[in-house]
Amino acid sequence: MPFNKMKTHVYIYKQLKKIYIITYLKWVKIPVWFKLKMNDVQVGNNLRSNGVPVIDVWELGKFSIGDNFIMNNGGRFNVIGRQQRCYFIVYNNAVLKIGNNVGMSASALICFKGITIGNNVKIGGNVVIYDTDFHSLDKYQRRSHKEDVLNTISKEVVIEDDVFIGAHSTILKGVTIGEGSIIGAGSVVTRSIPKNEIWGGNPAKFIKNTLNEPAIADKN
């Protein structure tokens, strides 16, 4: 009898949880729509947002999203640890462009110059993409806020079609990830990657191509 009662309690809990999530997802469309509209984000069809992202597009920045975009925000969705909302920060004269059929969870895209994400791209939980160093690499210039800002280096990031970026990875400025390539979880990508290759590590290094051919070092 106690076991049956416990099962009943579990069932009730799960049903209440389901009702809560359905209600939340219906309500959350309003603040998501408001943030997109107020930041003048150009949005395609069938956008789906589980939770509310952080969006901050500066006056001269541009942000566009293609069709069938899906994002998970916060602790309730795609729970894999280190949960946060998605962050889309676009500074003056910067352009952030996301293609069709893109999905991401708890990711941060910080755009000072340009970030372009192609079609059919999957971005794992807690991935960050930075197209800037944020600060000058010269210690004397960093002592002055003005000099620091003027001498910060930013370079466009391009993620081509059908790329898969594993959870907790960091993509740094000036990087292009070629079509069909895969980035292993927890990687730090500091240089461009050709198409159809698997890279991983810190800094990320070539592992093999997507046809399962071994790395050159393994052939010797």
Which position among 9, 135, 145, 168 bears the catalytic label?
A: 135
DSSP three-state, residue 195: coil
CA 20 to CA 32: how far, in whole Å?
A: 18
- Quick check: is 135 catalytic? yes
Q: What Rg, from alpha-carbon coordinates, does the chain have? A: 20
Pairing mode of beta strands 205-209, 197-200: antiparallel
Do 150 and 112 form a contact (C-beta atoms < 8 A)?
no
Structure tokens at 212: 């399962």
- Contacts of 170-174 with C-beta under 8 Å, sequence gap 24+, read 170/127, 170/128, 170/129, 170/130, 171/127, 171/128, 171/129, 171/130, 172/130, 173/113, 173/130, 173/131, 173/132, 173/133, 174/131
CA 207 to CA 182: how far, in whole Å?
A: 10
What's at 214, amino acid-wise? P
Residue 65, CA distances (Å) to 68, 86, 204 in order: 9, 14, 28
The residues carrying an active-site annotation are 135
